[in-house]
Homo-oligomer: A and B are copies of this chain.
Amino acid sequence: PHSAPRQRPARLPPGLSESDFSTAVKDLRQSIGAENVVINDQPLKDGWYLEHPNTHDAFHVVEQEELVCSAVVYPGSTEEVQKVVRWANKHLIPIYPISIGRNVGYGGAAPRVPGGVVLDLGKRMHSILNVDGENASCMVEPGVTYFKLYEEIQNRGLPLWIDCPDLGGGSVLGNAIDRGVGYTPAGDHFANHCGMEIVLPNGELLRTGMGAIPGPDGTDSPVWQSFQNSFGPKIDGVFSQSNFGIVTKMGFWLLHEMPHRSYCFTFAQDEDFPRIVEAIRPLAQKGVLGNIPQLRHVVQELNVTGRRKSTFHDGEGPMTREEIRRAAKELPLGDCSWVFYGTQYGDAQSVERQLGVVKAAFSDIEGTKFWLPEDVPQDHYLHSRVQVNSGVPILRELDWLNWLPNAGHLFFSPITPTRGKDAQKIHDMIVAGHKKYGFDVFPTLCIAGREMHYIANVIFDRADADQKRRAVALLRELVDDCAKEGFGEYRTHLLFQDQVARTYGWGDQALMRFNETIKDALDPNGILAPGRCGIWPKRFRGRGWEL
């Protein structure tokens, strides 16, 4: 990925003059060390996944210089986070906390407000504070990645698993805060957290769950990682997908390692999509499916080979169904339409029985084929699912980035009920939209039970301004199309957060008014991540910031 030279001067926090800002920076440098406050005035580099920038959105779908910060700050402790927060209140500077900032496809490390100060927590706060083998739990700081936690557990020889998203370089804490998903039985990351420590927008420190009970002699409560609630309101949820606090510690439940068997089913006809979904529904609801399986369109078999689109397709525009068919024929799974990647857990006998039930459910769908890892070559994607679905962090899905030159990801992620007609409706809108705007459709459905996260990955060329314009237009249109039918996204890129939030508008935006009430109560100066998830503090509200 290339980097155009900057056209504009470094951004300042909104409302601050250059001299205001430099006074503020001086102030902060004195308080937490000069080396921990870095002005963002150098050329912007997109880097790549493992060397991602914290200065802007590496997968910029608007101009690279649009979603940038004015400075990056590296606190080294909870106390320093509190200092930064008090400083932001004093100078009225918006701060935007990230844990690792690998939120690729959703805005990366960029702040919602250009010129905000990014609080990169992970660089200096990356301790695994505890791994409790007895309780099968851990407590981590923001900078702990899946890779690091995995390694620690391996080093200790504990028979425990972590749950990973498709890319293992993210933050265990940051991903959960953004309500990300993984693929073992503990795939709902936020649901599997237990206890938080949070710096509030006024600088106060809060502990949730049983962490609110002090343990004897200054220790932490022995129950903190065992029970999620405290007495009174269950508040943890309000710190996910919000701008109500900065999470400095978070506990998670780990899994006990289990025998496991990954597999896939291929289906013959595109049109069988709703029938596949209908077959999945009872399996998912009854817990027959051991994990969060994925249903992927066969086109994804092409992109995970890591080959360029141009090897399969000539010229402009999206691939045709015929081209996909022709290319798929040459690949291990052959010509098919949808691929269901699952994993069953337990001893051989019980896995056998579970697989019998799954096979029976799909048996009515003509042309269905069943595959085990031993049926496909070692480099086939099924082997990657074996790893992810048994808690091993990997980077396989980065291969998608070879699809186009200068490829960037942008995710459209609506929630569909696990119901054929609803899923088909959403799928049709997505297909039509991609066609209209000239993009390949890359559908992955993560099947979480009664619903599926439909993740459509829009891959675009970051050097192509027109593609970027079209990608944004596509997203805007899909958000509105889905909303008209009562469907909404579980998560979205910074650019679309206002729009998506507005679609959750029942009762004349009652939810937003509620969120704003909480925001104003907790953050009267509006310093913490203004605009994140569509929530603007009073100071910014209705002043042209909403997109």
Chain A: residues with CB nearer than 8 A to chain B? 134-137, 179, 185, 190-191, 194, 200, 204-208, 210-216, 219-223, 225-227, 229-242, 244, 253, 256, 258, 281-282, 285-287, 349-350, 353, 415-419, 422, 450-451, 483-492, 497, 500-501, 503-507, 510-511, 513-515, 517-518, 520-522, 533-535
Known: A232-B501, A232-B504, A488-B223. A518 touches B521 (CB 8 A): yes
* Closest beta carbon of chain B to A242's beta carbon, Å: 4
* Closest beta carbon of chain B to A239's beta carbon, Å: 7
- What residue of chain B has the Cβ atom nearest to residue A415's Cβ? B227
Asked whether, in the complex, the Cβ of A222 is within 8 Å of the Cβ of B504, the reply is no
Residues of B contacting A504 with CB < 8 Å? Answer: 212-213, 230-232
Known: A214-B486, A253-B450, A416-B223. A204 touches B507 (CB 8 A): yes
Closest 8 CB pairs of A and B: A234-B237, A521-B521, A215-B486, A233-B242, A212-B504, A221-B486, A232-B533, A226-B450
* Closest beta carbon of chain B to A189's beta carbon, Å: 12
Asked whether, in the complex, the Cβ of B232 is within 8 Å of the Cβ of A534, the reply is yes
Most B CB within 10 A of own CB, among A210, A515, A535: A210
- What residue of chain B has the Cβ atom nearest to residue A244's Cβ? B233
CB pairs A–B below 8 angstroms (24 shown): A135-B419, A179-B229, A194-B450, A204-B514, A205-B510, A207-B507, A210-B486, A213-B503, A213-B505, A215-B486, A219-B486, A221-B488, A222-B487, A229-B241, A231-B241, A231-B488, A231-B491, A232-B511, A233-B237, A233-B535, A235-B515, A236-B237, A238-B238, A350-B353
Asked whether, in the complex, the Cβ of A213 is within 8 Å of the Cβ of B419, the reply is no
> How far, in angstroms, from A353 to B348 measured CA to CA in the complex?
13
> How far, in angstroms, from A212 to B483 measured CA to CA in the complex?
11
Residues of B contacting A515 with CB < 8 Å? Answer: 232-233, 235
Excluding A135-B417, A233-B237, 18 further A-B contacts by CB distance (< 8 Å) are A134-B419, A191-B191, A200-B514, A205-B507, A206-B507, A207-B506, A207-B510, A212-B488, A213-B505, A223-B415, A223-B416, A223-B488, A231-B490, A232-B501, A233-B238, A233-B518, A517-B522, A520-B521
* Closest beta carbon of chain B to A508's beta carbon, Å: 9
Q: How many copies does the complex hold?
A: 2
- What residue of chain B has the Cβ atom nearest to residue A533's Cβ? B232
Asked whether, in the complex, the Cβ of B231 is within 8 Å of the Cβ of A534, the reply is yes
> How far, in angstroms, from A134 to B215 measured CA to CA in the complex?
46
* Closest beta carbon of chain B to A471's beta carbon, Å: 20
Known: A214-B486, A233-B244, A511-B232. A222 touches B417 (CB 8 A): yes
> How far, in angstroms, from A232 to B531 measured CA to CA in the complex?
11
Residues of B contacting A513 with CB < 8 Å? Answer: 204
> How far, in angstroms, from A232 to B536 measured CA to CA in the complex?
12
Asked whether, in the complex, the Cβ of A231 is within 8 Å of the Cβ of B137, the reply is no
> How far, in angstroms, from A533 to B505 measured CA to CA in the complex?
31
Residues of B contacting A241 with CB < 8 Å? Answer: 229, 231-234
- What residue of chain B has the Cβ atom nearest to residue A206's Cβ? B510
Asked whether, in the complex, the Cβ of A227 is within 8 Å of the Cβ of B487, the reply is no
> How far, in angstroms, from A503 to B230 measured CA to CA in the complex?
10
* Closest beta carbon of chain B to A290's beta carbon, Å: 11
* Closest beta carbon of chain B to A238's beta carbon, Å: 4
Known: A450-B137, A517-B521. A505 touches B212 (CB 8 A): yes
Asked whether, in the complex, the Cβ of A256 is within 8 Å of the Cβ of B506, the reply is no
- What residue of chain B has the Cβ atom nearest to residue A135's Cβ? B450
* Closest beta carbon of chain B to A392's beta carbon, Å: 19
- What residue of chain B has the Cβ atom nearest to residue A513's Cβ? B204
Asked whether, in the complex, the Cβ of A486 is within 8 Å of the Cβ of B237, the reply is no
- What residue of chain B has the Cβ atom nearest to residue A281's Cβ? B134
Known: A225-B450, A226-B415, A422-B222. A210 touches B511 (CB 8 A): no
Asked whether, in the complex, the Cβ of B240 is within 8 Å of the Cβ of A234, the reply is yes
- What residue of chain B has the Cβ atom nearest to residue A482's Cβ? B213
